[in-house]
A and B are shown apart, each in its own frame.
Chain A
Amino acid sequence: MTYSFDFSWLLVYYPQILHGIAITIELIAVAAVVGIAVGICCAWVRALGPAWLKPPVTAYVELIRNTPFLIQLFFIYFGLPPLGLRLSELEAANLAMVVNLGAYSCEIIRAGIQATPKGQFEAGASLAMTPFETFRHVVLVPALQRIWPALSSQVIIVMLGSAVVSQVAAQDLSFATNFVQSRTFRAFEAYFFSTVLYLLLAILLRWVLARLGRMIFSRTAAR
């Protein structure tokens, strides 16, 4: 059976594709910034925090890490409105990604904190710093540096996983692809093209995160 590949639809539908890319980028940017912030707070609680805060944070982390992102998304978008919390597609997608990345980054950052040599805590204490001051000024940045590759990988995983937000009609790249596919019936070409775009986005994201890492953890003195 012969099949002629036809990518001409690109010329017509590129605005939708570009819009989809923009939304996908917005989603992961927000998720990364807010999600990592959440992760830092939760990691602090689990590693160094007060005993009474640990059970709820542990429950949150274990629940998110042991259920599929798709179900978390559906729960937020479909399951919360009956309780009074109605979110738009993008709001739900953003929230689901933040919640998801928050839980995973908590565990990654926690590992970084727990790999801190005990002497660092003692030095901070003996300089009369409170535990929180020691965490903020002495422990946090080296911990993040330690786990930056693992954290970057997780951000990319979440970005790739964000493709399912199209299922709640959030207009990301995969939604745009479905849209094109349903109009042109060029399913293979559409998904092929979109897969290549995601691959390029992943490569770009990896580069951005590596660059960011070098900037944050850079050292002004000559090495």
Chain B
Amino acid sequence: MSDFTIWDIVRNLLLATRWTVVLSIAAFVGGGALGAILLFLRIGKRRLLRNFVKYYVELFQGTPLLMQLFLAFFGLGLFGIDVPAWVAAGAALTLWTAAFLTEIWRGCVESIARGQWEASASLAMGYVQQMRHVILPQALRVAVPPTVGFLVQVIKGTAVTSIIGFVELSKAGTEVTNATFEPFTVYGIVALIYFAMCWPLSKASQSLERRLNVAHRNQ
């Protein structure tokens, strides 16, 4: 029935993988930028802003990514904006990534011992100076392993965008399966491609963690 070779399958899947990579990087960078802004709001002085970020995080961490994608896809259409799948996918994934990264980073900042705050305060440093010269440099170091680890989650998260029609690796997997009737082979190769992207990052995160000797907070 199928006159497709393995190479045909792999080639199609790898072409679609480009979009997985693009979406992952876009969401990671965008989510990172937004997450950093949210972090400063969260640890800042204005209670209203702190609570806003707190509930933002609870909302995005407490609801399925799939639902967030559907709402982005259908919701933005309410305002007259015609939303192609890639816009909805990018927007939803960015907001989702920001929520998780800001929490990870908040944990890292809070893990810096109180003594550091006290020592820098007693050297007459102001808040911004404390953050810039004492706290953030240390927090950044602590933050690297879980942040790298979360990139793995983002890559896996892109798979869900196939459901709103964004053509990345998982969607291509479904399309190729429908064409070749070889679900075992096709989804097997899809899994291996994801594994090839994610596993090195996971290992890097673990080895960074060991080298920086930091307790791992998120998976």
Contacts and interface: CB of A to CB of B under 8 A. Distances in A.
In the complex, A touching B (Cβ < 8 A)? yes
Interface of A: 1, 3, 62-63, 65-72, 74-75, 78-83, 104, 107-108, 111, 154, 156, 160-164, 167, 174, 187-188, 191-192, 194-195, 198-199, 202-203
B67 A80 contact: no
B195 interface: yes
B199 A66 contact: yes
Contact of B152 (A66, A79, A160, A199): A66
B79 A167 contact: no
A1 B79 contact: yes
Given A71-B191, A188-B71, A188-B75, A66 B64 contact: no
Nearest to A196: B63
A79 B187 contact: yes
A203 B61 CA distance: 11
Contact of B67 (A72, A104, A163): A163
B63 A187 contact: no
B71 A71 contact: no
B78 A74 contact: no
B165 interface: no
A163 to B, nearest CB: 4
Contacts of B158: 68
Contacts, number: 124
B80 interface: yes
Interface in B37-78: 59, 62-68, 70-71, 74-75, 77-78
Nearest to B68: A195
B7 interface: no
A174 B173 contact: no
A74 B183 contact: yes
Contacts of B160: 68, 70, 164
Given A74-B183, A195-B68, A202-B63, A167 B219 contact: no
Contact of A160 (B64, B75, B170): B64
B36 to A, nearest CB: 23
B188 interface: yes
Contacts of B183: 74-75, 78-79, 81-82
B177 interface: yes
A111 B80 CA distance: 50
Interface string B168-192: 0010011001000011101110110
A160 B65 contact: yes
B128 to A, nearest CB: 33
B159 A68 contact: yes
A111 B215 CA distance: 10
B71 A192 contact: yes
B195 A1 contact: no
A21 B160 CA distance: 21
22 contacts: A62-B199, A62-B202, A66-B202, A67-B198, A69-B156, A70-B162, A71-B173, A74-B183, A78-B177, A79-B183, A80-B184, A82-B183, A83-B184, A108-B219, A111-B216, A161-B65, A174-B66, A191-B67, A191-B75, A192-B71, A195-B68, A199-B62
Nearest to A191: B70
Contact of A3 (B78, B152, B173, B199): B78
B188 A164 contact: no
